[in-house]
Structure 1
Amino acid sequence: MTEHRIGRITHYYKRLGVAALELEEPLRVGDRVHIAGHTTDLAQPVETLEIDHRRVLKALPGQSAGVKVYGRVRPGDAVLLEEEDGDEEFLW
């Protein structure tokens, strides 16, 4: 599995359990993200994605989006997209 940076956390809404993030690359509902920082290490699928309080299926680079998170994140944490390596060979 490979990871590459797609954005960063700009705010965390503790009561809602929502992270605001600024995107550098597209993000879709169903993508698996890893949020990493000095004290943060959270991996989860993107189940909800909102822009201006409206649910969307995809957010584009340059947009700010809200994502439901299942742990505490902090401003400045990196948002990484986890991708399966399609050409892995398994030896049995």
Structure 2
Amino acid sequence: MINGYINHGDMGMAREIFDEMPIRNNASLTAMIFGYTECGDVVSARKIFDRMEKKDLYTWNAMIACYAQNGCPREAIQSFNRMRKLDSSVEPDEMTFSSVI
């Protein structure tokens, strides 16, 4: 449901649904990061990202892409380096590298 609102550019409704969710998983959190990326709201995307307990490759890619797509290349590279340093279980993939480049 969140993705539907995001795909139609309605981050307000996506956020309402998200805020009412009793349990949030990485899929819903990552969807919100992508939504904020599309809106150019890097600060809100980062707030969602920072609240995540367990980050996976998709969430790292979402945040790195958010920075890259919104004119924050330094932050994209810093996030990539942070991912490599803090989470040895996450291996970068093609999307990770294309966002950093």
**TM-score, normalized by length of structure 1?**
0.23
- The structure carrying a bigger strand percent of its residues is 1
- The structure carrying a bigger helix percent of its residues is 2
